[in-house]
């Protein structure tokens, strides 16, 4: 069995001069980086005092699920000789807060809109969305449902 490792660095950049001396004393700003790639400006969700102009971990989780699904779907279509000419996903994740201040994702819904060179292949392409969902490494690693509602245009 093969294994793969992924190394990233997360560096907090939100010290405004007094560190974490109080809940309001620091920014949630940070950078996510990996060797040879541009950094991603991160923060907390605005509901938790984050900067809305930066990516938050919850968005990045939803994006990871969407990316993984898309990459599997495109691979399966290529193998099946289904030509995809356009793909856009408007994914949505729902996280609920718990009484103790924590939270967890309840579900993520992927809503890919796929354009096919031959629209008559939409039925088979829909089946490949099902298969992509089964194969996605990220979806197989989370403990909440990842649903998909594909559209074809």
Q: Does domain 57-152 have CATH number 3.40.50.720?
A: no
Residue 92 token pair: 């949505």
Domain range summary for the chain, segments of one domain joined by + = 9-48, 57-152
Summarize pLDDT for 104-143 with one digit per residue, the tens. Answer: 999 999 999 999 999 999 999 999 999 999 999 999 999 9
Distance CA 138, CA 62 (A): 10
Given a cut of 90, is residue 153 above it in pLDDT?
no
Is the pTM of the predicted complex or chain greater than 0.85?
A: yes
Residue in 69, 117, 118, 127 with CA at minimum distance from that of residue 93: 69
The residue to which tokens 């969407």 are assigned:
66
- The mean predicted confidence, pLDDT, of the chain is 95
């Amino acid at each position: 069995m093969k294994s793969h490792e992924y190394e990233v660095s997360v560096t907090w950049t939100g010290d405004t001069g007094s560190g974490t001396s109080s809940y309001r004393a620091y920014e949630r700003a940070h950078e996510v980086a990996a060797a040879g790639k541009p950094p991603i400006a991160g923060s907390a969700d605005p509901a938790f005092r984050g900067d809305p102009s930066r990516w938050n971990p919850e968005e990045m989780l939803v994006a990871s699920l969407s990316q993984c699904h898309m990459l599997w779907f495109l691979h399966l279509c290529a193998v099946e000789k289904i030509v995809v000419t356009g793909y856009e996903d408007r994914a949505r994740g729902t996280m609920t807060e718990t009484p103790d201040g924590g939270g967890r994702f309840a579900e993520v819904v992927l809503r890919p809109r796929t354009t096919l060179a031959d629209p008559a292949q939409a039925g088979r392409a829909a089946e490949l969305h099902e298969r992509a969902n089964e194969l996605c490494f990220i979806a197989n690693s989370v403990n909440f449902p990842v649903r998909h509602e594909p559209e074809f245009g």
